[in-house]
Amino acid sequence: MFRSILFLASFIFILSSCKQNSENPKGQSAKTSEDAKSDVVFSMSGKKAFVYTTALNTDLKMSAFDTVGFEEKKQPLETEICVFVDPGKTFQPYVGIGGAITDASAETFYKMPKAQQDELITAYFDKTKGIGYNIIRTNINSCDFSSDNYTYIAEKDSTLTTFNIDHDKKFKIPMIKAAQQLIGKDIMFYGSPWSPPAWMKSNNNMLKGGKLLDQYHNVWAMYYTKFIKAYEAENIPVWGISVQNEPMATQTWESCIYTAEEERDFIKDHLGPTMEKEGLKDKKIIAWDHNRDMIYQRASTYLNDPEAAKYIWGIGFHWYEDWSGGKPMFDNLRRVYEAYPDKHLFFTEGCAESFKSGGYNNWALGEEYGRSMINDFNNGMVGFTDWNIFLDQTGGPNHVKNFCFAPIHGDTKTGQLIYTNAYYYIGHFSKYIQLGAKRIIAAPTRSQLISTAFLNPDGSVATIVMNESDKDVEYYVWVDGQAAKTVAKARSIGTVVVR
């Protein structure tokens, strides 16, 4: 009898194991639906590699550089530099790339001649003539890149009956609508606050940190919903909000401090429930919105609490952790991606700081973008939001003189648009990766090259390859035993589209 029971138990265990293995082959950890295998079927039949390049000391700016056929190459030699691309292994989805339309961006925009305004909007948001941005971030209340310090309500109005966005209707909203016309239905527009009104805070000041007072938690939560509804009344669909820009930084400009526990509790007890009550459950909530250095501690604090996690779409991050003299901490993203695969890693701000008018041609500006975007995508990032899309010839306006670079500047005295190489470096991603793409494997064989790759919904593959060395590098794009040979110019970024 005992032997019969043992046999039956063993038989049931084997059946159960087979079922588990069929659902989860090779014992891999389960992935969410967004991270599941792409339903796009990729075939190398008849494919060519179309190479687009931007390079130092050349006229190449996202220029068609090379068209190469594929030849059989089963086993490359160690002496042959390759970027191995595997469309059969898919990872996180791609939701897009864009930048922030701040007060500074919009004020500068409307100081430019109409022809340059049209050129700028086309350059950023047109999918064919430009680089196809679909994401727009803006500030809720004033930020450092505002000419003045403002909120949307009258002093001490805890009922929010005076809430209005008249301030934004002068510059920001018209510029956002101009971009929206080109983006169309794919727009991802979201807002981020730098500070609540001064009277809601412990320091009675929108600047220099301080904390949200307990008695205003519900009022401040309602403020976000007022912002969303006011913008949507202007026919600008709001995709989501972040809770607080840089909640660990006490700045000379608008800022507000939350510990991880305070932000978690604000989300689960106030912001999340208020959004639901106001019929805004579909709007995305982004937590953290600060640097990579502390991202795991912050994410784990929020996401280990299911009552907070249910409201959080993803974790926003910036790239400024090197303020202390260190290097970018890309691996910290991977820790969050591994631990919380059902949440999204979303870049919400980055720029080159310490503006100098003579620095427009500094090639390192674009390289910082390329390096960060490749590493962040490879560590789980789903989308990228640059900081100001447009600033003037001073790196502003900025009411605390925190002047920075943008990919494009406008000289309001001459009416000239000034493109930095950052515009082209970002474009190597945004122009060629299609919405709905999935990241795939891209593995260079030598450290001169860094790379990431995506399988697009139309079956093409976009592989971004960056060469930070001072020498041209010949390499093969290798896919499933076939290879196409091309060149990564010295100090360059290239996109190889296989179609």
Q: What digits encode the pLDDT tens for the residues 148-187?
A: 999 999 999 999 999 999 999 999 999 999 999 999 999 9
What's the burial of 362, exposed, middle or buried (CB within 10 Å: 0-12/13-18/19+)? Answer: middle
Q: How far apart are CA 494 and CA 32, in angstroms?
A: 31
Q: What is the value of pTM for the model shown?
A: 0.92
* CA diameter of the chain: 95
Q: What is the pLDDT of residues 312-367, one digit of tens each?
A: 999 999 999 999 899 999 999 999 999 999 999 999 999 999 999 899 999 999 99
Which contiguous run of DSSP H or E holds residue 372?
A: helix 364-378
Q: Which member of 246, 263, 321, 368 is catalytic? A: 246
pLDDT at 40: 87
Q: What is the arithmetic mean of pLDDT over 390-394? A: 98
* Residue type (1 letter), 348: T
Q: Is residue 8 pLDDT above 90, yes or no? A: no
* Predicted pLDDT of residue 357: 87
**CA 132 and chain centroid, separation:** 14
The dihedral of CA 455, 282, 373, 180: what is its sign? positive
Alpha-carbon distance 36 to 45, whole Å? 25
338 noted as active-site residue: no
Span 83-105, average pLDDT: 98
Cα distance between residue 64 and residue 52, in whole Å:
5
> What is the predicted pLDDT for the residue at 10?
42
Average pLDDT over residues 276-281: 98
- Residue 271, CA distances (Å) to 46, 101, 280, 309, 343 in order: 52, 24, 11, 12, 18
Q: Which of 422, 427, 428 is nearest to 409 (CA)?
A: 422
What does the pLDDT read at residue 11? 37
Whether the predicted pLDDT of 27 surpasses 70: no
Of the candidates 123, 55, 60, 97, which has an alpha carbon nearest to the alpha carbon of residue 418? Answer: 123
Where residue 17 falls among pLDDT bands split at 50, 70, 90? very low
Encoded tokens for 403: 């002047």
SS3 letters across 259-307: CHHHHHHHHHHHHHHHHHHCCCCCCEEEEEEEECCCHHHHHHHHHCCHH
Average pLDDT (202-211) is 98
What average pLDDT does range 288-308 have in this prediction?
Answer: 98
Residue length of the chain: 499
Cα dist. 303→32, 164, 300, 308, 380 in Å?
16, 34, 5, 7, 17
pLDDT, position 4: 42
State pLDDT tens for residues 228-271.
999 999 999 999 999 999 999 999 999 999 999 999 999 999 99
Give the pLDDT confidence of 397-455 residue by residue, as tens digits: 999 999 999 999 999 999 999 999 999 999 999 999 999 999 999 999 999 999 999 99
Residues 82/475, Cβ–Cβ less than 8 Å: yes
Local structure of 185: helix, strand or coil:
helix
Query: 20 versus 41: which is more confidently predicted?
Result: 41
- pLDDT of 39 reads 82
The pLDDT value recorded for residue 91 is: 98
DSSP 8-state symbol, 30: P
Q: Which of 107, 263, 321, 349 is catalytic?
A: 349
Q: Judge whether 78 counts as a catalytic residue.
A: no
Q: What is the pLDDT of residue 37?
A: 54
% of residues, the chain, pLDDT over 90: 91
Q: Per-residue confidence at 38, pLDDT binned at 50, 70, 90? A: low
Asked if 498 and 49 touch (Cβ cutoff 8 Å), the reply is: yes
Q: In the prediction, which pLDDT does 68 show?
A: 98
Q: What is the pLDDT at residue 85?
A: 98
Within 13 A of 258's CA, how many CA atoms are on the CB side? 28
**Cα 495 from Cα 425, distance rounded (Å):** 10
Residue 294 has pLDDT above 90, yes or no: yes
Which ranges of 152-209 would DSSP assign to H, the alpha helix? Answer: 166-170, 172-183
Residues 6+ apart with CB under 8 A from 410: 108, 109, 111, 112, 116, 120, 390, 391, 392, 393, 416, 417, 418
pLDDT at 30 over 90: no
Residue 99's nearest CA partner among 416, 420, 335 is: 420
The average confidence (pLDDT) of the chain is 93
Q: What is the structure's pLDDT at 124?
A: 99
pLDDT of residue 12: 38
Contacts of 303 (CB under 8 A, 6+ apart): 309, 312, 339, 340, 343
3-state secondary structure of 419: strand
Ranking 26-40, 267-281, 469-483 by mean pLDDT, the lowest is: 26-40
